[in-house]
Amino acid sequence: MKYPNGKSSSFRTKAVTQQKTSFSNRGMTLEEDINETNSYYLNTNKAVIHKKPTPVQIVKVDYPKRSAAVIKEGYFKQASTTDYNGLYRNKYIDFEAKQTKNKTSFPLSNIHEHQIEHMQAVNNHGGICFMIIRFSVYDETYFFPAVKLFPYWDSQFNGGKKSIPYSKIKEDGIIIPFQYQARVDYLSIIDQLYF
């Protein structure tokens, strides 16, 4: 089809392109999916798990209107630990969530030493500690126990790789299928592994 000015319509190509679009992620990030899952857990009285707030020191604030404040400058008060914590079946739960676009591995540079130290302390005190890792390119989300993470972390300082191969995450982790209400139903994995 051509318009009166002689240009071709792209109607057909747009329609074909729209059919190929994947809606599997529904535009959600891993953090949004976990927050929705945690809300579902809380509303159904299954668990109490929240995202930890990042402690910030506000230094400069502008007040363009009496009713509005704009933060112009702020600093992190201290290094944060992990992203989420709470209680499930009388057990302390603590985990970090990371999303990567990498196809072949999960870079250990996405984690900080103080986070590893925190996870080790939680593990040593009997808490359930893990990572949730999403490979965006594959639309796959994995439950990865912290005890499986520690050897990879230590190995990088002794000449080992600075990443965890995707194949090892598939082998040592457990895939978390996407669901409607509990989008990232990590508690079902905890039930399998710990209860």
> Of 15-19, 43-47, 58-62, which has the strongest mean pLDDT?
43-47
Give the model's confidence band at 87: pLDDT under 50 very low, under 70 low, under 90 confident, else very high.
Answer: very high
For domain 34-52+79-194, give the CATH number: 3.40.1350.10
Q: What are phi and psi of 177, to 5 degrees?
A: -70, 145
DSSP labels, the chain: -B-TTSPBP-HHHHHHHHHH---SSTT--HHHHHHHHHHHHHHTTS-EEEEPPPPEEEEEEEEEETTEEEEEEEEESS----SEEEEETTEEEEEEEEEE--SSEEEGGGS-HHHHHHHHHHHHTT-EEEEEEEETTTTEEEEEEHHHHHHHHHHGGGT--SEEEHHHHHHHSEE--B-SSSTB-HHHHHHHHH-
Domain residue ranges of the chain, discontinuous segments joined by +: 34-52+79-194
Residue type at 7? Answer: K
Percent of the chain topping pLDDT 90: 68
Give residue-wise pLDDT tens across range 164-186. 999 999 999 999 999 888 999 99
110 close to 98: Cβ distance less than 8 angstroms: yes
User: Is 191 annotated as belonging to a binding site?
Assistant: no
Question: Hey, what are 167's tokens?
Answer: 């194949």
| 172: three-class secondary structure by DSSP | helix
The answer to the question of whether 13 is labelled as a binding residue is: no
Mean pLDDT of the chain, nearest integer: 85
Indicate if the pLDDT at residue 26 is higher than 90. Answer: no
Is 185 annotated among the ligand-binding residues? no
**Residue 123 binned pLDDT confidence (cut-offs 50, 70, 90):** very high
154-162: average pLDDT: 94
**From CA 180, how far away is CA 37, in angstroms rounded?**
9
81 assigned binding-site residue: yes
- In 10 A of CB 165, how many CB atoms? 13
